[in-house]
Amino acid sequence: MSLFANEYLLAWSAYGIAALGCLLVWMRITRPMWRWLREPLRLIVAVLLLTPTIVDPAKDLFAPAVAITALDLLFKVGSNAWRAVADLALYGLIAFAVYAVFVVIRWLIERRAKQQRSQSRHDDPRTLRERLEDDDEDIRPTHRYEARTEPRL
């Protein structure tokens, strides 16, 4: 039994590394897309690659839900396809609910930051000419060599 457990963990480790590699490639592919399209697509692929489903309830054996669904539909063997699809739908629903909360919080923060930036720009009602005329700060260096620039050859 010990040997089987080690092989099971080795297989899951190999799948995890391969899934993370596929996810990184997908993130690279979706990089130039618009943010509101890119993030849900990345979330869909993450759910598809990282969702496990139970294969044998007696032994508590899990397998990737996408693989179980594909193999059951392709070879028409076993009855785990509906369970795998249900797991994918459940994990997808949970992931999109968490993502929606994240999007709402981010939208509120960005809106507040945009309002603060626009208010800080419009705090001073003077024109640019008036601001430059009233500017009493002397920006010249106090010492002789502070503003010296060396010529480049």
**pLDDT for 136:** 62
Residues present in the chain in total: 153
Domain that holds residue 26: 2-122
If the chain, 153 residues long, is cut into consecutive pieces of 10 residues, what is the mean pLDDT of each piece?
A: 73 94 96 93 96 85 90 84 93 97 96 84 73 66 62 69
**pLDDT for 58:** 83
Go through 11-40 and write b for each residue having 16 or more CB atoms within 10 A of its CB, e for each that does not: eeeebeeebeeebeebeeebeeeeeeeeee
The residues, ordered by sequence, that sit 6+ positions from 134 with a Cβ below 8 Å of its Cβ are 126
Is 129 inside a domain boundary?
Answer: no
**pLDDT for 85:** 93
Contact 27, 42 (CB under 8 A): yes
**pLDDT for 134:** 74
Is 137 inside a domain boundary?
Answer: no
Is 100 inside a domain boundary?
Answer: yes
**pLDDT for 149:** 65
Provide the token pair at 86. 């249900």
**pLDDT for 127:** 76
**pLDDT for 93:** 97
Give the count of domains, the chain: 1
CA dihedral sign of residues 65, 71, 76, 78 = negative
CA dihedral sign of residues 137, 139, 142, 144 = negative
